[in-house]
Homo-oligomer: A and B are copies of this chain.
Amino acid sequence: MTMANTPSNSSSSPIEQYLRRLHAKYAALQEGRVADYIPELSKANPDWFGLCIATRDGQVYEVGDCRQPFTIQSISKALTFGLALEDRGEDYMLSRVSVEPSGEAFNAISLKPGTGAPFNPMINAGAIATCGQVLKQEGLSRFDRILACLSRYAGRPLDVDEAVYLSESETGHRNRAIGWMLRNFDIIEEEPTEILETYFRQCSIRVTCRDLAIIGATLANHGRNPLTREMAIDPVHVDKVLSVMATCGMYDYSGEWIYRVGLSAKSGVGGGILAVLPGQLGIGIFSPPLDAQGNSARGLKVCEDLSRDLALHLFATGISPRTAVRLTYDASQVASSRRRAPHPQHILRTSGHRIRVMALQGELVFSTFEPVVDLALKQAPYCRYLILNFRNVTSINDVVLKLIGELRSSLARLGVTMVICSADKFGKNLRHQGMDSLPQFKDDDFALEYCENRLLEEILGPGWRLDKPLTLADCLLFSGLTQEELAWLDLRMGLGEASQGDYLIREGETGDSLLILLAGSVDVHLASDTGQLGRRVNVFEAGISFGEVGLLDASPRSASVIAAEPVEYRVITRELFNSLDIENPSLKIKLLNNISLSLAANLRRLSIELTTYKG
């Protein structure tokens, strides 16, 4: 038994325990016969038995003979079909090979009356026709390209079992007859000889049970190998490959297979079964003895158990896409981090509900995004700005890209401006939808700030920001102070000016002063992990004071404060602050009172935010 790439506590994993029990349950099963139509295949050990699951994230669970090479045989048909689709396109391929189940055995010469098109690419006739459609490219033979393609699926360079290939070629007369029939109907355009040798070599490619699971995981992962991250097939063709596997992959057992097991699958006479639960995982089974229909006998039992025990049936997995709406709130609940003077702050408290935020999540497809469209239009009468936050979005399909553009137009007609944020990773796709002019921001904080500024301008008029510098009496820190107290402080406080980009406070330094901003605004940044200037966490406008905690306990500064524009400020040093204890205790008491109230107000604001995020 091999165990690799598995969780560190593999012996403790209930998933591995289950797979080992399942392996033990069927290891003794004595049903079916090893294929013997060519001598090489009959050499397989009927006791070989491997089972492997690979998730679309690349987690691999292996039990049994998962590293024993064997020939891929008919399983290759599904993968070559995908390659031919890439080379020739949908319509061309459908004109050559149909996709209806034939109800007949794998080696029947099932050609449709009239056109001569094989019933489907999973029977020999269809597979040979498909093989003949793969193009030669840049000095690469058909077979070179097929081998490279299958190697991308498996995530490692595969090779051919030459003995099996020779054996296949020596005995493949029935397939040669099929090849000439295909030539007769012009399904293939050249003499079949080379195509047949390519087909025999394709069937003789060596894989392991683990390879099959990873090939399956690649199909489950929309064509990208989850371990190497390489694309094995253009994602637009993955659905077609999985469709044909679902209806025709298990020969004349296909209907019952979907009914009982419910996975897209393909079997081969080498004893392999490749099964896929689309979007979720791949399964590889290897056990050479075959049943009457040519499917691995143990493999069928194991897959039935797996599907039932792990609820992997396509139509019964219990997976329904969740709405893309993760959270909705408005700017009266969670405002931007811009701390404003009392008047604009008050306006935003009363009108903030006109800015709505919808935090989205997961994969945006029609079903998950439909509730977003519905909710956005229902909220439109009550709001002026709608922010869509893409931070927790993992993918956006073309349907939704289009819907986003159309939703924007619908909202605009209703007087609502749509704003998006945290969508950098989808930037190119969004641009393709002509959304260059859509207001886009790095994160929700910048988006909120933009909408707040616009809303304030709409309510207060365009000149609202051009106020003259504040007086000390305008500052919250000094509320309740008498004229005498203000004058007393005015004489003693320091005075500062700074240009855009200047540091007023540096993170990590010991706090020794409290600053009161009288003109301009400053940005508050946390250091990033690398010590560089990191995320902006606040903006303070004139009227706000900061640095009080460092003054109180001489702790290191928890963030850097940088002038966002030319600023004017006043400074209360520790020396001055401490001297108040003796020189002006009643003033000190008033200041501490105001500091406490401002901290309490921030605490209340954060509590509301926290409740909003915890949901």
Contacts and interface: CB of A to CB of B under 8 A. Distances in A.
Contact of A279 (B277, B321, B549, B552): B321
A367 B319 contact: yes
Contact of A14 (B246, B394, B407, B548): B407
20 contacts: A7-B373, A9-B377, A9-B378, A12-B413, A14-B403, A14-B407, A17-B406, A55-B370, A98-B255, A99-B259, A238-B315, A247-B247, A248-B255, A279-B317, A309-B399, A310-B399, A320-B363, A322-B394, A549-B597, A599-B603
Contact of A593 (B8, B315, B552, B586): B552
A366 B374 CA distance: 31
Interface stretch (A71-79, A342-350, A446-454, A606-614): A606-614
A365 interface: yes
Given A279-B321, A548-B600, 6 more contacts: A248-B255, A310-B366, A318-B363, A319-B319, A581-B586, A606-B606
Interface stretch (A28-36, A100-108, A177-185, A492-500): A100-108
A367 B277 contact: yes
A552 B367 contact: no
Give the oligomeric copy count.
2
A120 interface: yes
A156 interface: no
A280 interface: yes
A163 interface: no
A228 interface: no
A147 to B, nearest CB: 26
A145 interface: no
Interface in A18-52: none
Contacts of A323: 57
A269 to B, nearest CB: 21
A501 interface: no
Interface string A233-257: 0001011101110111000101110
Which of A314, A370, A414 has the most chain B CB atoms inside 10 A of its CB?
Answer: A370
Contact of A321 (B258, B319, B597, B604): B319
Contacts of A14: 373, 403, 406-407, 409-410
Given A255-B248, A315-B238, A610 B599 contact: no
B8 A377 contact: yes
A491 B551 CA distance: 32
A395 interface: yes
A397 to B, nearest CB: 5
Contact of A315 (B13, B264, B391): B264
Nearest to A594: B552
A324 to B, nearest CB: 11
A281 B367 contact: yes
